Structure 1
Amino acid sequence: MVRRQEAATAEALPGYEGPGALPGGNLARLSSGEQVRLYVRKLIFDGVLRQGQRVPQDAIAQALGVSRIPVREALIALEREGWTTIIPHRGAFVNALDEPSVRDHYELYGLFYGFGVRRAVERKGPELAKPLKALQKQIAEADDPDTLHRLTLDFHRTVIEAAQSPRLRTMLRQMTDIVPGNFFALVPGTDEVEREGVAAIVTAIERGYPELAEREYATMLRRQGDLVVELFRGRGMFDDENAEAASAG
């Protein structure tokens, strides 16, 4: 069974083009290892690679026009991030994805960014509201996912820079987005959650309430996590659902 799945996957990979764009928009701008890492994550997201399947390294190298070296480097990075498990002399296999892990991911994002905005308000005071208010207005008016994605990254970056916490920046760099691509294009409903969330965060900052801004950040990212869970559940990406489908078959 595993051999048949592996053969079907390998056959599907060359020239594979899934829905949506990969992060960064243009793979050519990224290092070979980063191209592979993002590509494999998207294959998992699109259901081309599923739990327990061996990652077809040769097919991926062929699809991206790279050697096996960046493929191996990417799989090591993916193992650190929890996407795959490397078994010596057997290869790399896709790990199970479960709902609690997805929810924990966004809860942690909320804790980190919530801490960041509280520190930013404490260190910058009311002046922080001005640049964030300008971004929030643009976010409210953004009418396409690409613009919204860029503006929200600017919003979060402004908060983290104002927090003046190298340790926090290091922790955030170690976290990898679960959704590979433009979050707002791929996860329905997240655009409205983001607009409402950043508006509430800015209002709390304007009023001088760092603890409230912290809570609003956590609430926004928790709601985003709820929508990602809903999407993944609909795609049958969770471990328990895959197990049920297998037993039913």
Structure 2
Amino acid sequence: MGVRTIPPRQEPALQGAGSKDRSDVLPGENLARMTSGEQVRLYLRRLIFDGVLRQGQKVPQDAVARTLGVSRIPVREALIALEREGWMTIIAHRGAFVNALDEASVRDHYELYGLFYGFAVRRAVERQGAELGARLAPLQKEIARAEDPEELHALTLRFHRLVVDAAQSPRLRSMLKQMTGIVPGNFFELVPGTMPVERRGTTAIVRAVNKADAEAAEAEYAEMLRAQGDLVVKLFRSRGMFEQAADEANAASR
């Protein structure tokens, strides 16, 4: 699907990064068949990531619904979920507004991922030992060979899922489900430099697991995700995604 026109006077203007007025369009991503709140949430995060929706801007709910071919119900569900995740602020009788994205928040996000997955691998090693290493090793070899971002994405999801399953912690699984990635879409395709970081990290994790060194495996997980967070910060800086938040904060303090 391409783009659809937003009727005048019904929605606020959408300003893309480095663009002129784009109040008449919203980009489509072949999402006409996607109708769930989860899919709308992904779409809205992509609009933020691409600079179509900027910090402080009101989300044009009717336009989003028309672009995706859905009712406003999944749009509202998505906005509520995004508010819980810190992406939006919903103001009664006014609408939903995009929150500022700052560098510290991005780094905190990946530090938390490192803590969660580090805890998972420590528990998994304690409970499964060498058996876990035998199950992770073939996946790690595939990860080391993968050159296609889509293939690597699928393989790493399997790797992380195997670790979480082996930890046998329903509470951990529940907490991870509540976390949503900052980068919408294929992480390895959108963030330069992340593929070698993932290869090195998973190699080090499996090496520690094979030695039944739960503490080292935990530290390697945290290091890998911290390095991924550094690359996301670098990308967001290059896209100017932090600059507007800083400018707004400076203006407010004057």
- TM-score of the superposition, structure 2-length normalised? 0.87
2:66 matched to which residue of 1?
62
The one-letter code of the counterpart of 1:72 is: R
Change (3 A) 1:4 1:123: closer
Superposed displacement of residue 143, structure 1: 1.5
The one-letter code of the counterpart of 1:117 is: V
Superposed displacement of residue 89, structure 1: 1.0
Tell me the C-alpha RMSD between the 2 structures.
2.2
Superposed displacement of residue 33, structure 1: 1.3
2:76 matched to which residue of 1?
72
1:20 matched to which residue of 2?
none
Instruction: Please point out which of 176, 182, 186 is paired with 1:178.
Output: 182
d(CA) in 1 for partners of 2:68, 2:13 = 23
CA contact 1:10–1:59 (8 Å) conserved in 2: no
d(CA) in 1 for partners of 2:46, 2:175 = 23
Change (3 A) 1:11 1:29: closer
2:54 matched to which residue of 1?
50
C-alpha distance after superposition, 1:151-197 (max 9, x if no partner): 00000000000000111101101111000000000000000000000
Instruction: Please point out which of 102, 115, 118 is paired with 1:114.
Output: 118
Change (3 A) 1:137 1:4: closer
CA contact 2:38–2:78 (8 Å) conserved in 1: yes
Q: Which runs of 4+ in 1 moved over 6 A?
A: none
Give the paired residue count: 237
1:95 matched to which residue of 2?
99
Structure 1 position 11 matched with structure 2 position 24: yes
d(CA) in 1 for partners of 2:31, 2:71 = 16
1:18-37 to 2 correspondences below 5 Å: 27=31, 31-37=35-41
Superposed displacement of residue 16, structure 1: 3.0
1:231-242 to 2 correspondences below 5 Å: 231-238=235-242
d(CA) in 1 for partners of 2:181, 2:141 = 25
Instruction: Please point out which of 143, 148, 153 is paired with 2:147.
Output: 143
My pick for the range that moved more, 3-12 or 61-70, is: 3-12
* Unpaired runs of at least 5, structure 1: 18-25
1:23 matched to which residue of 2?
none
Superposed displacement of residue 69, structure 1: 1.5
Change (3 A) 1:136 1:54: same
1:215 matched to which residue of 2?
219
| 3-state SS of paired residue (1:180) | coil
1:190 matched to which residue of 2?
194
Structure 1 position 84 matched with structure 2 position 88: yes
My pick for the range that moved more, 64-73 or 129-138, is: 64-73
* Unpaired runs of at least 5, structure 2: 1-10
CA contact 2:33–2:69 (8 Å) conserved in 1: no
1:119-138 to 2 correspondences below 5 Å: 119-138=123-142
Q: Which structure: greater helix fraction? A: 1
d(CA) in 2 for partners of 1:155, 1:3 = 43
% identical aligned pairs: 70
- TM-score of the superposition, structure 1-length normalised? 0.89
